[in-house]
Structure 1
Amino acid sequence: SKADSTRLMLHSKAQTTVLHLAAERGAVEDIELHEVMLKGFRDVLCVESGGPEPGVGCAGRGIITAINFLEENGAYQDLDFVSYDVLGDVVCGGFAMPIR
């Protein structure tokens, strides 16, 4: 599953992803940060970007969309560190983007 990186941190099933909510609402601009950023174990903030179904579309594009959404909404302010769990089998060039 593409949205299971935070399950253990949140002690729950997979959380709603940025891309799923954007698809439901019609645009990523229609999402509020608090809807996709949940506080987990030891107050770790968790977000799942989501992505297309396996074999369809470019997962890298979805991750870029999610990272841009997080940056534009101040998600990276006042953090000690950021950890990314990304797919290792992506066949498109979406991960060529620099992640700061």
Structure 2
Amino acid sequence: MNKGVYAYVAKGTVDRLRDAYLRNRLPGDTDYFTKVQDHDASDWTDHIATHAPVMLGEVAVVPVTFGSRDRISVLVFLRKEARGWKITKVDDTLDYH
């Protein structure tokens, strides 16, 4: 992750992800933010849908769907900081296994 990620992701989240990566403790072989291993970049770039946010106190939860084929959805948790809204967590919408 480069330093530009701090514009969108809370510093604490980036630091925890970097630490987990260095210790090889990230779950599975998927990208943290998209929850998949592989995707069709051109399809996903052209087909990103954000849905109405749900406010839970000071946290906004925004469902985001990627792709037109083999669609995947994630829940993006954001918290407002001094310079705007920052991602604090991303979770998938898959059933628990």
TM-score, normalised by the number of residues in structure 2: 0.25
Task: Determine which structure has more spread, i.e. the larger CA radius of gyration.
Answer: 2
TM-score of the pair, normalised by structure 1? 0.24
User: Which protein has the bigger strand share?
Assistant: 2
Which structure has greater helix proportion? 1
